[in-house]
């Protein structure tokens, strides 16, 4: 019964309103039976409209219109039904008829304007809104919808005229000011933006945030004198304010008075009224603007204080880590990244930072532990398998290295990273003395990147040690030294390939150069070996003794020296 009551109220409002305006022209049925029939028809049509049975609603209102052809309200309802059912163009004549019958009804004009918009008749929509505003200058819906229409159609001049009407009729509105500022920002008109801020401040003098925004805008645009003047005005309202202290600090920073700026910033940070997010944003902006090491050092000190004060804030720990890494303090940076990942372990980028630093610091054991820990959260991240596999490779745990690298390459979509995986797999299989698998992995790596230095070097060197496919080995080592003529490792590899081919004169040339560039025991021992092959026993002995002193030689070095003979 309550639902029926609502429908009756709707009907009565339509009927009584339309009858008052249409008394002279109305053709409402005069006998009671027809009136009751019309009433029932309108109630049912309104019910169908509410239930979104648009076809039935349209049929009902159409029949009602036949019974009362001069009803503005029924024309309005038919226009409404057609609009809701997506037939905007068919709705237009009914909207126009409703206005013709009742020209002062603002809701009829609003509906017609919206119908025009829905079918893309923007000019007609604008005219309808403007006609409505001539009748009702303070009609808020019309003002805002007309503004939106001009905004969507890019008519800036007309849009600003409507903004002026809104402010004249309704007063200064924040959303209007914001939209004006957005447009002025796009047009590069900072003076106009400042003017709008001042308008907001005048309209809402007790809203301090507007003045803070104005000061920040002036500082960002290096209008420091104006900013200082506004700070003085602000202090009249709030003599003691940590926000003011922050703003003063930023002004001093922009003027190059870094010591004063840091003192003010430190003072502001000690205030409990400044939250973490504000402090974080301020320090971030200062770091971006810093240009000298002394400035960064002061900021880093404040950043570390922030990380200590907010020990449970993930962003504080990451920020401190980033700053320290930028200053070259890798171990300290690592410590803060580790704190961050304990607070928020499901963050891949921080794990990546941790593993990169541990790799740079040769912290192999930690790199293995942390890569495996990260895999618990990111089991499909190829890079984590790479770090774990590389760690096991360094520790000569070749089976574990193969397992990690072979799994990781399945998740790799980057061809460059896939090359690295195959290269490391080649090294791991070589460590297991599974040479054919090693060479196959190297071949796969070179399919992706035929110039990969690491693969070319190790592949050619291991082939030479086995004395196998030396032509291929020579081709690869030659490519290497052409690309890197002064790299002692690659010179040694090329020289050793030539040595294994029996080309001792050429081998000597490259091994001698390598032994001159790098005090490496293996390289120097190789140089001694080729000298011995060339009959220069005394010189070979000197190089072997030099190699032993450098370290990293073969197990045969003592025997070579003691017996003055070459053992391979």
Rg (CA), the chain: 41
Task: Enter the tokens of residue 101.
Answer: 């019958």
pLDDT digits (tens, 9 = 90+) for 392-402: 999 999 999 99
What is the DSSP code string of 458-503?
HHHHHHHHHT-SHHHHHHHHHHHHHH-TT-HHHHHHHHHHHHHTT-
Among 6-10, 171-175, 191-195, 402-406, the minimum mean pLDDT is found in: 6-10
Six token digits for residue 444: 């796969």
Please give the pLDDT value at position 59.
84
In which band, very low, low, confident or very high, does the pLDDT at 18 lie, cut at 50, 70 and 90?
very low
Mean pLDDT of 308-337: 96
Q: Which fold has domain 1-103?
A: 1.25.40
509-554 confidence digits (pLDDT tens): 999 999 999 999 999 999 999 999 999 999 999 999 999 999 999 9
pTM, whole model, 2 decimals? 0.67
Give just the sign of the alpha carbon dihedral 468, 470, 473, 477.
positive
Q: Average model confidence (pLDDT) for the chain?
A: 88
Same CATH fold, 172-271 and 1-103?
yes
Helices and strands (DSSP H and E) totals, the chain = 32, 0
The 10s digit of each residue's pLDDT in 51-76 is: 888 888 888 888 888 888 888 889 88
Domain 451-568 class in CATH: mainly alpha
Give the rounded percent of residues in the chain with a pLDDT score beyond 90.
54
Taking residues 406-433, report their average pLDDT: 96
Quick one: how far is CA 105 from the chain centroid?
50
In the numeric block, which tokens belong to residue 190?
A: 């900072």
Stretch 177-185: mean pLDDT: 89
Q: What is the CATH number of domain 172-271?
A: 1.25.40.10
Residue 22 in this model has a pLDDT that exceeds 70: no
Confidence of residue 10 (pLDDT cuts 50, 70, 90): very low
Percent of the chain with pLDDT over 70: 94
Contact at 8 Å (CB) between 345 and 335?
Answer: no
Provide mean pLDDT across the span 291-296. Answer: 79
Q: Give the C-alpha separation, 54 to 113, whole Å.
A: 21
Instruction: Look at 91-105, 139-153, 314-328, 418-432 and tell me which has the smallest mean pLDDT.
Output: 139-153
Q: Percent helix, strand, coil in the chain (nearest 5)?
A: 80, 0, 20
Of 282, 257, 255, the residue nearest 268 (C-alpha): 282
Averaged pLDDT for residues 36-51: 81
Domain residue extents for the chain:
1-103, 172-271, 451-568
- Position 31 scores a pLDDT of 56
In this predicted structure, the answer to whether residue 15 has a pLDDT above a threshold of 50 is no
pLDDT greater at residue 3 or residue 68? 68
Cα distance between residue 145 and residue 116, in whole Å? 12
pLDDT computed for residue 354 by the predictor? 98
How far apart are the two ends of the chain, measured CA to CA in Å? 107
Structural contact between residues 435 and 408, judged by C-beta atoms closer than 8 angstroms:
no
* pLDDT(29) > 80: no
DSSP string of 505-551, one letter each residue = HHHHHHHHHHHHH---HHHHHHHHHHHHHTT-HHHHHHHHHHHHHH-
Quickly tell me which residue has 């603002």 as its tokens. 106
Least reliable range by pLDDT among 33-37, 339-343, 407-411: 33-37
The candidate with the shortest Cα–Cα distance to 405, out of 389, 387, 423, is 389
What average pLDDT does range 96-113 have in this prediction?
A: 87
């Amino acid at each position: 019964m309550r639902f029926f009551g609502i429908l009756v109220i709707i009907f009565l409002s339509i009927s009584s309103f339309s009858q008052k305006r249409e008394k002279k022209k109305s053709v409402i049925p005069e006998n009671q039976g027809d009136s009751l029939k019309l009433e029932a028809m309108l109630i049912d049509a309104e019910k169908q409209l509410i239930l979104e049975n648009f076809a039935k609603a349209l049929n009902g209102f159409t029949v009602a219109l036949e019974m009362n052809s001069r009803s503005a309200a029924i024309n309005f309802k038919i226009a409404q039904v057609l609009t809701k059912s997506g037939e905007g163009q068919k709705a237009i004549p009914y909207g126009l008829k409703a206005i013709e019958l009742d020209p002062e009804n603002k809701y009829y004009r609003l509906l017609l304007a919206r119908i025009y918009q829905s079918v893309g008749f923007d000019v007609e929509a604008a005219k309808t809104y403007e006609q409505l505003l001539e009748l009702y200058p303070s009609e808020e819906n019309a003002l805002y919808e007309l503004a939106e229409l001009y905004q969507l159609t890019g008519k800036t001049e007309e849009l600003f005229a409507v903004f002026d009407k809104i402010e004249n009729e309704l007063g200064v509105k924040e959303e209007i000011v914001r939209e004006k500022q957005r447009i002025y920002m796009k047009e590069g008109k900072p003076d106009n933006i400042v003017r709008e801020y001042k308008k907001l401040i005048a309209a809402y003098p007790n809203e301090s945030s507007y003045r803070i925004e104005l000061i920040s805008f002036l500082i960002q645009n290096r209008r420091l004198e104006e900013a200082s003047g506004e700070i003085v005005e602000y202090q009249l309202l709030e003599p003691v304010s940590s926000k003011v202290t922050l703003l003063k600090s930023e002004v001093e920073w922009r003027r190059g008075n870094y010591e004063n700026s840091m003192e003010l910033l430190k003072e502001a940070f000690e205030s409990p009224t400044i939250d973490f997010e504000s402090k974080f944003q301020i320090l971030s902006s200062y770091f971006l603007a810093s240009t000298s090491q002394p400035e960064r050092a002061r900021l880093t000190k404040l950043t570390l204080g922030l990380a200590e004060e907010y020990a449970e804030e993930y962003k504080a720990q990451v920020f401190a880590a980033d700053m320290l890494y930028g200053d070259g303090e890798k171990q300290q940076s690592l410590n803060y990244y580790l704190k961050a990942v304990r607070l928020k372990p499901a963050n891949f980028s921080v794990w990546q930072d941790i593993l990169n630093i541990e790799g740079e610091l040769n912290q192999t054991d930690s790199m293995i532990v942390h890569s495996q820990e990260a895999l618990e959260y990111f089991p499909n991240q190829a890079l984590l398998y790479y770090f774990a596999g590389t760690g096991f490779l360094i520790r000569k745990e070749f089976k574990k290295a193969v397992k990690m690298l072979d799994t990781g390459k399945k998740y790799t979509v980057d061809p460059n990273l896939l090359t690295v995986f195959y290269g490391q797999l080649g090294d791991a299989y070589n460590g297991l003395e599974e040479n054919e698998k090693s060479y196959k992995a190297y071949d796969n790596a070179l399919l992706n990147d035929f110039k990969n230095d690491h693969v070319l070097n190790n592949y050619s060197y291991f082939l030479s040690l086995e004395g196998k496919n030396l032509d291929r080995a020579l081709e690869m080592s030659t490519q290497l030294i052409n690309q890197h003529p002064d790299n002692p490792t690659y010179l040694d590899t090329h020289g050793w390939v030539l040595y294994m081919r029996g080309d001792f004169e050429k081998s000597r040339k490259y091994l001698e150069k390598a032994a001159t560039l790098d005090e490496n025991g293996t390289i120097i021992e190789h140089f001694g070996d080729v000298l011995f092959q060339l009959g220069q026993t005394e010189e070979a002995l000197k190089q072997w003794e030099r190699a032993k002193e450098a370290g990293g030689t073969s197990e045969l070095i003592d025997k070579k020296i003691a017996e003055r003979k070459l053992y391979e």
